[in-house]
Amino acid sequence: MNILRYTGIIILLVLGINSAQAQGGCSTLLEDISTADLRSLAKEYTRLASYKNPYCDTTGSDFEMIMKQLEKSIVASGSSKEQVLEMMGTAYYHGPLAEYENQKLTIGRDGKPKGKSLPPSYKIPTGDYYIVYLWRKKDYLVFALKGGKVVDSTWWEKGNYR
């Protein structure tokens, strides 16, 4: 009888811990984000992004740290457009510089925004092709590519025109 009671308590504790992690946010399964390889970072980024958890959208979250480490690793490896899209999923925008500069955010007759809001081209790294990810509806991660390879990246906050 005592064995059943202790087993029940252990099961409740395990369920409680898993439930707390699911509610509490955005914890990584990686041992060390700073030393994780590119493939592991991409897999963990995809896993956490799939939860659509508001706790992931906080400054200092594991998700933010993974995104920033993944960004560094992508630039360091000179990943291709296809590799970036495969690792990070659907981009907010991707295309050549000419199309990037033609993207305009306008307000339609219904008062709703039409088009894409992107960082101004003078605020992004030099490249001939761009892949942009939007985080928290205000932070942009911009990858600049030249010759089909990522050469630089930058973070930009919406509304920061300085």
Q: For 137-153, what is the HEC assignment?
A: CCEEEEEEEECCEEEEE
Of the pLDDT bands very low, low, confident and very high (cuts 50, 70, 90), residue 149 is very high
Q: In the predicted model, what is the mean pLDDT of the chain?
A: 84
In a domain, 1, yes or no: no
Backbone angles phi, psi at 106, to 5 degrees: -120, 160
Residues 35-48, mean pLDDT to the nearest whole number: 95
CA separation for the pair 144, 151 (Å, rounded): 6
In a domain, 132, yes or no: yes
Task: Kindly state the tokens that stand for 136.
Answer: 């928290």
- Nearest Cα to 134, choosing from 143, 126, 125? 143
In a domain, 86, yes or no: yes
Amino acid at residue number 53: N
Is residue 67 helix, strand or coil? helix
Residues 76-99, mean pLDDT to the nearest whole number: 95
In a domain, 153, yes or no: yes
Higher pLDDT, 22 or 89: 89
In a domain, 16, yes or no: no
The pLDDT, as a whole number, for residue 6 is 56
Q: To which H or E segment does residue 93 belong?
A: strand 93-96
The pLDDT, as a whole number, for residue 1 is 57
In a domain, 59, yes or no: yes
Please provide the distance, in angstroms rounded to a whole number, between the alpha carbons at the two ends of the chain: 69
Give the residue numbers spanning the domain of 95.
Answer: 36-157
The pLDDT, as a whole number, for residue 36 is 95
In a domain, 29, yes or no: no
Question: 111-134 pLDDT, tens per residue?
Answer: 777 778 888 888 899 999 999 999
Report strand pairing: 139-146 vs 129-135.
antiparallel
- Report the domain count for the chain: 1
In a domain, 20, yes or no: no
Of the pLDDT bands very low, low, confident and very high (cuts 50, 70, 90), residue 16 is very low
Amino acid at residue number 151: V
